[in-house]
């Protein structure tokens, strides 16, 4: 076996392992054994090593290690750690097996600088300005997470429930919940990326992905590069036809390092041994393997940064209008107020950091965390919001903060979580079944974990809930378990947690 074949095999094995761990973490199928739970924990830790989450969580060590890895080996992150890259490779492999001629269907394409650096400029400004919903649409990890949560997880849950009909002791029933908006966005996004992969391999990575573009620029200076030895090359062109990054100019014997994802397919394909993965060439040889940098790139990026500032400013104005709409004169809130998960600190912090990967939603045992539609306004679309019609926040649970890779939901100690006030309950006497139907209830007081609801006798001799606002943490148990329709008790969220 050739040495370079081993490189490719190791690369594929690492990519499949990362993909499997992250998939298992998001799908979260069944109760699992200690081994399965350990693998899920490993997947949750791997999520913190995704580039955008590491950047947003201000994890300097992780970001530096990923950049050092790129400076050493090029875009190896894109071919191993990124799960969306593995999805695209899977689509490419599927087409190759369906049609043998598709195995050599690629050809060199000139880089689309306008598109690549435009997306990167917009994304960078949105990260700096805290406009998370734009980042959520282009971050490869978050795209993968939504596809797993809204696509594969319901299938796994449905399969689990079907098996429970025959093996009830081994398969507990699971609640299948799908957000139509998030599912639609996930379906359209993966459909477009899958089509691009079917047509042109890693075309999404080299045209739309901001992480790929950024790491591509870093990889210009990488220590190890894939290089062509012109003395051995017989100009068969097979390497270019096998390159799913479409970055090998076989006529000029050049490889664009900014678009090479270091998959080693070209090395595996070359029967002459003319392509190697080695330390970068001397300056005289480098001319054959790398295109000169675009002299106009600096001015181009400056122009794109100016253009990109427009949607960022508009998004910030929309956020201010949302705050004004939620608040009336004197700071009094009007209408329903969304409740952000414990550890989010505030709606503003959540919107600035969250990329809507839905890992917290996948892990929530009570299903109270759901993708937002317009509860937070446009800026918070698909971000996690507490939906008390689906469940309530368990008093002894801190999972969402433990798994969040971006720092949008910060980890809280259990005692700290129990003291954090997400909102407060409001009682509507006219809706209560005690007043309306003349029956005894007290469900809200019975299930309040913070002991913030007491039953007091009213003038009609019946027992009604009395809420101690200072003790209420906004967990939503009262609202979720209230039998009245519409709810006689509901939680109003705080824009900033107390």
As a whole number of angstroms, the distance between CA 445 and CA 439 comes to 15
As a whole number of angstroms, the distance between CA 102 and CA 96 comes to 5
Q: Using one digit for the tens of pLDDT, what is the confidence trace for 361-394?
A: 999 999 999 999 989 988 899 999 999 999 999 9
What is the separation of C-alpha 29 from the centre of its chain, rounded to a whole number of angstroms?
Answer: 19
What percent of the chain lies above the pLDDT cut of 90? 62
In the predicted structure, residue 296 carries a pLDDT above the cut 70: no
Per-residue model confidence (pLDDT) at position 161: 75
Q: What is the mean pLDDT of residues 5-31?
A: 88
Per-residue model confidence (pLDDT) at position 261: 94
As a whole number of angstroms, the distance between CA 269 and CA 273 comes to 9
Per-residue model confidence (pLDDT) at position 281: 65
Q: What is the mean pLDDT of residues 351-362?
A: 93
In the predicted structure, residue 319 carries a pLDDT above the cut 90: no
What contacts 284, CB < 8 A, 6 or more positions away?
Answer: none
Q: How many CB atoms lie within 10 A of CB 270?
A: 21
In the predicted structure, residue 293 carries a pLDDT above the cut 60: no
Q: Using one digit for the tens of pLDDT, what is the confidence trace for 227-280?
A: 999 999 999 989 999 999 999 999 999 999 999 999 999 998 888 889 989 887
- DSSP letter at 341 equals P
Do residues 425 and 489 make contact, with C-beta atoms less than 8 angstroms apart?
A: yes
As a whole number of angstroms, the distance between CA 14 and CA 79 comes to 9
Average pLDDT, the chain: 85
- pTM of the entire predicted model: 0.86
Question: DSSP alpha helices (H): ranges in 139-256?
Answer: 140-147, 153-164, 180-200, 210-218, 238-242
As a whole number of angstroms, the distance between CA 59 and CA 56 comes to 8
Q: Using one digit for the tens of pLDDT, what is the confidence trace for 123-180?
A: 999 888 878 888 999 999 999 999 999 998 888 877 777 777 777 655 666 666 778 8
Phi-psi region of 390 (alpha: psi -120 to 50; beta: other; left: phi over 0): alpha
Do residues 241 and 268 make contact, with C-beta atoms less than 8 angstroms apart?
A: no
List 278's β-bridge partners, or say none: 225
* Structural domain spans, the chain: 421-498
- DSSP letter at 346 equals B
Q: Of 258, 261, 327, nearest to 289 (Cα)?
A: 258
Q: Using one digit for the tens of pLDDT, what is the confidence trace for 339-349?
A: 999 999 999 99
Q: What is the mean pLDDT of residues 471-490?
A: 95
What percent of the chain lies above the pLDDT cut of 70? 83
In the predicted structure, residue 438 carries a pLDDT above the cut 70: yes
- DSSP letter at 385 equals E
CATH value of 421-498 in 3.40.50.620, 3.40.390.10, 3.40.1160.10, 3.30.70.20: 3.30.70.20
Output the CA–CA distances (angstroms, integers) from residue 15 to 18, 80, 87, 150, in the order listed.
5, 4, 10, 22
What contacts 289, CB < 8 A, 6 or more positions away?
Answer: 225, 227, 228, 253, 254, 255, 257, 281
């Amino acid at each position: 076996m050739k040495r370079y074949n081993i490189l490719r095999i190791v690369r594929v094995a690492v990519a499949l392992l990362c993909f499997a761990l992250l998939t298992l973490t998001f799908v979260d199928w069944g109760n699992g054994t200690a081994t399965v739970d350990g693998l899920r924990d490993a997947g949750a830790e791997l999520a913190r090593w995704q580039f955008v989450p590491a950047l947003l969580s201000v994890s300097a060590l992780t970001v530096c290690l990923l950049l050092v890895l790129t400076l050493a080996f090029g875009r190896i992150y894109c071919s191993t750690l990124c799960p969306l890259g593995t999805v695209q490779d899977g689509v490419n492999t599927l087409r190759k097996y369906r049609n043998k001629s598709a195995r050599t269907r690629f050809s060199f394409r000139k880089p689309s600088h306008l598109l690549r650096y435009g997306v990167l400029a917009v994304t960078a400004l949105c990260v700096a300005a805290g406009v998370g919903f734009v980042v959520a649409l282009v971050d490869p990890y978050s795209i993968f997470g939504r596809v797993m949560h809204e696509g594969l997880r319901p299938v796994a849950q449905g399969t689990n429930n079907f098996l429970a009909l025959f093996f009830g002791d081994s398969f507990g029933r699971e609640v299948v919940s799908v957000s139509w908006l998030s599912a639609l966005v996930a379906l359209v996004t993966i459909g477009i990326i899958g089509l691009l992969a079917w047509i042109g391999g890693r075309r999404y990575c080299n045209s739309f992905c901001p992480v790929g573009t950024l790491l591509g620029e870093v990889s210009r200076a990488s220590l190890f590069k894939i290089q062509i030895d012109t003395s051995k090359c017989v100009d068969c062109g097979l390497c270019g036809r096998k390159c799913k990054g479409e970055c090998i100019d076989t006529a000029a014997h050049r490889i664009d390092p900014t678009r090479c994802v270091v998959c080693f397919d070209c090395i595996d394909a070359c029967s002459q041994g003319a392509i190697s993965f080695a330390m970068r060439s001397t300056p005289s040889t480098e001319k054959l393997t790398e295109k000169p940098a675009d002299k106009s790139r600096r001015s181009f990026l400056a122009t794109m940064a100016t253009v990109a500032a427009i949607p960022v400013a508009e998004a910030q104005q929309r956020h201010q209008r949302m705050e004004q709409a939620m608040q009336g004169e004197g700071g009094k809130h009007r209408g329903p107020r969304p409740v952000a998960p414990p550890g989010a600190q505030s709606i503003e912090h959540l919107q600035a950091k969250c990329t809507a990967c839905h890992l917290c939603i996948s892990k929530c045992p009570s299903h109270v965390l759901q993708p937002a539609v317009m509860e937070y306004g446009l800026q918070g679309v698909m971000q996690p919001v507490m939906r008390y019609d689906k469940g309530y926040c368990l008093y002894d649970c801190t999972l969402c903060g433990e798994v969040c890779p971006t720092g949008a939901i910060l980890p809280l100690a259990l005692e700290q979580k129990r003291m954090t006030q997400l909102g407060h309950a409001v009682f509507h006497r006219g809706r209560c079944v005690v007043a309306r139907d003349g029956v005894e209830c007290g469900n809200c007081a019975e299930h309040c974990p913070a002991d913030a609801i007491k039953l007091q006798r009213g003038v009609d001799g019946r027992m009604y809930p009395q809420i101690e606002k200072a003790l209420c943490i906004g967990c939503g148990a009262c609202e979720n378990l209230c039998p009245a329709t519409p709810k006689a008790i509901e939680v109003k969220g705080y824009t900033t947690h107390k």
